[in-house]
Structure 1
């Protein structure tokens, strides 16, 4: 569940000290009242007994005043102790939440394919260059296997996945093979006993049975020897849950997300992504590429909540806003673009629309279940090029879903 800092109560204020002049005035008033009452009510013989007279007229009021002062000082000490105890517990709670919120994962391997990848040996380099230049690969073209249906979308080129793979299951299998082959090498350097958790997300027209069959075949052919366990959840919510429940786990988290176009709407993208993530507290033996910090989701679809989520995502890094010069957008509904623009203008940094802003929805299209993952994979490669922190705004399949903000930072040599 999200780590909340905004519901921590404000620190208790220290109680105010007793006002010296008020108490001195109270003492003088008490002495005057005591003297007056003694003169008015005391017997005449008392005037001849100076010790008794002054004891009653001044001693008794002084004693009462002193008792009240002691009670006031005891109350002050009690209030001060209560405030200090509250603030100490508040500090412990805040420290605990900060430690929990600032848990992070290391990205130790990454692979992604889109329509910007031409399938050649230097395809990854060409792909990231295209994305950093906001070069659009969206175009009006026929849907795969349905020549009569033409719409504007991005599609894997034939050089990446052969068009002879007309069968969608075979096409999906080819994509699974692609991303797993890229991660097979780093996984081969680890023992076969290395625990491996799998978060698999696929969006296509195939049934779950056909998707599972394609995945099982691709996994068998990959040569990866580690046993896998499935992880429940979807998208960045699964990362948030992992950081809460398994941040000290020896297991690596393998994320695989594939989205194939269904030929039903404009502006969608095909994408295939694989990420291998390691808990920062548990060194995997692989050289980390970047740190993926806790994602923060807005609570309502408003500018104020999105701005709060962006600030909180940077705080989890922790980073000042001015440190971020590169922003990625992926899976953001057109209706939320104006909110993104307002948030970027409100952030006190160099982040401005059109400057260091990479909109994958404009260059590739909406990648559905792979939207957040392809932004993370692209930002990982970008961080390796410009050595700068990256801020990601991403959505999900449902355009009405709340947006996520995620910070990605490079890995310092000392941490590797």
Structure 2
């Protein structure tokens, strides 16, 4: 679940301090009331030169006025002490929550396949290169009109199952060295995300056979639900400790089409991630650091973007690159407005050159789009040494920060 910052449980408005002029008037009113009361109730014939008369006339009223002021001052001081304690506790809780939410995942290796290339694609997308053009669908059906899309050129025949197998083999070849270098005693999990409408059990079996063929140790294999996607990382980072947190995981997403829709893309992405403190402790080289994703509603994009920057430990003026893919038109407009409202550095780039639209380069890569956006942002972060903001949509708009690693890990690799 998303991390929620602690909020005040009650009214935190500080009490009004006692006003000297008001309490001076109150003191004089009490004093005059005491004097009048004493004079009216003093027995006739009783001497007025006694100590008791003057105590009742002046001392007791003065003490009553002072007591009222003292009680008011005591209330004020006690309330301020309580509020200061609650504020300090709230600040500590907030700091702890932010520290927890800022724990990143290390990008240990990555591999991707798309029509524009399999390496150094971030540089090409940033240069506004594109391979999206009208072409015939990859089938012998004259009734299917040409549409703008991109396809993956894969070895072997055009059968769907064999194309998935070719994708898995290429991704695993790129990740093989990094997977073999992982400590054997640390849990390793695999998460597979596939488009709806394909035989998941069959494709899952193909992945497992490819994994086994490379000789990697068994890893728990799970299918990511369509609505989950990147938010699986949020669930991972929600864990406070133990093997559920201190683990390595491979996230694989593949989007292939039998009949590609307009402005679509075929793509495949694999990310090898690990909890960053664990990776550092084991001496593993990282390419980049991936921070906790944030979900955004359409009318709360500014708030979500601010929260993503907070989780990523980055200031708005440091974000000069924003990667986006799989977005709706309204998302793009809202993100552009949010970057201006929050004074992101990307909003000041010439003709918004810092906004890198993966869809404009290759088309919408479906379920692979969010993971491809993350991979390209990580690649660009490693190249430029600057933090990146990544935006994608899977049921909801998701934002996350990708940070470059420190100097000790800048030699990070792509598989």
Shared fold (TM-score greater than 0.5)?
yes
Partner of 1:185: 177
Query: Within 1, Cα distance between the matches of 2:260 and 2:346?
Result: 35
Matched, 1:281 2:277: yes
Unpaired segments ≥5 residues, structure 2: 411-415
Equivalent position of 1:330 in the other structure? 325
Determine the structure 1 residue equivalent to 2:208.
216
Residues 315-350 of structure 1 deviation map (CA, whole Å, 9 limit, x = unaligned): 111111000111111110134332223223323133
From 291, 316, 320, give the equivalent of 1:321: 316
In the alignment, is residue 51 of structure 1 matched against residue 51 of structure 2?
Answer: yes
* Residue of structure 2 equivalent to 1:88: 88
* Structure 2 match to 1:355: 353
Task: Name the residue aligned to 2:115.
Answer: 115
Cα distance between partner residues in 1 of 2:10 and 2:363:
44
* Alpha-carbon separation, structure 1, partners of 2:230 and 2:240: 15
Distance 1:246-1:236 versus aligned 2 partners, 3 A rule: farther
Matches within 5 A, 1:104-183: 104-117=104-117, 123-125=118-120, 127-148=121-142, 149=144, 150-157=146-153, 161-162=154-155, 164-183=156-175
Partners of 2:193 and 2:224 within 8 A in 1: no
Contact 2:123 2:380 in 1 (8 A): no
Structure 1: which 5+ runs fail to align? 118-122
2:259 maps to which residue?
Answer: 263
How far is the alpha carbon of 1:10 from its aligned partner?
8.7
- Tell whether the 8 Å contact from 1:134 to 1:360 is kept in structure 2 after alignment: no
Separation in 2, partners of 1:301, 1:292: 24
Q: Distance in 2 between matches of 1:211 and 1:345?
A: 43
Q: 1:405 aligns with which of 389, 399, 413?
A: 399
Q: Is the 8 A contact 2:382 2:405 kept in 1?
A: no
Query: Counterparts of 2:7 and 2:27 in 1: how far apart (Å)?
Result: 45
Counting matched residue pairs gives: 399
Query: For the structure 1 residues 128 and 89, does the alpha-carbon distance in structure 2 shift closer, same or farther, using more than 3 Å as the test?
Result: closer
Alignment of 1:8-27 (within 5 A): 12-27=12-27
> Distance in 2 between the 1:8 and 1:316 partners?
21
Give the superposition deviation at 1:176. 0.4
Deviation by residue 1:237-289 (Cα, 9 ceiling, x = unmatched): 10111110266622102101110024152011111101011112212432011
- Farther-moved stretch of structure 1 (19-28 vs 250-259): 19-28
Taking a change above 3 Å as real, the CA distance of residues 385 and 59 of structure 1, as seen in their structure-2 partners, is same
Name the CA shift for 1:43/1:11 in 2 (closer, same or farther; >3 Å).
closer
Over 3 Å counting, the alpha-carbon distance change for 1:371 and 1:85 in structure 2 is same
> Which sits farther off after the overlay, 313-322 or 208-217?
208-217
- The corresponding residue for 1:120 is none
**Aligned-partner Cα distance in 1 for 2:321–2:44:** 94
TM-score (norm 1): 0.89
- Partner secondary structure for residue 384 of structure 1: helix
Check conservation: 1:197, 1:231, Cα contact below 8 A: no
Task: Give structure 1 regions of 4+ aligned residues with deviation exceeding 6 angstroms.
Answer: none
Residues in 2 aligned to 1:347 and 1:391: alpha-carbon distance in whole angstroms: 13
Give the distance between the partners of 1:286 and 1:320, measured in 2 at CA.
Answer: 28
Name the CA distance, whole Å, in 1 between partners of 2:158 and 2:48.
Answer: 123
| Cα gap change, 1:287 to 1:208, in 2 (>3 Å) | same
Work out whether residues 31 and 62 of structure 2, in 8 Å CA contact, stay in contact via their aligned partners in 1.
yes
SS in 2 for 1:235: coil
Shift of 1:93: 2.5
SS in structure 2 at match of 1:89: helix
Q: Which SS does the other structure have where 2:5 is aligned?
A: coil
Please say if residues 103 and 247 of structure 1, whose CA atoms lie closer than 8 Å, have aligned partners that are also in contact: no
8 A contact 1:168–1:206 mirrored in 2: no
Show the counterpart of 2:413: none
Alignment equivalent of 1:238, drawn from 232, 247, 251: 232
Cross-structure match for 2:341? 346
Match of 1:308 in 2: 303
> 3-state DSSP class of the match of 2:171?
helix
Q: CA RMSD in A?
A: 2.3
Question: Would the alpha carbon gap of residues 247 and 337 (structure 1) be closer, same or farther in structure 2, given more than 3 Å must change?
Answer: farther
Distance of 2:36 and 2:201 partners within structure 1: 100
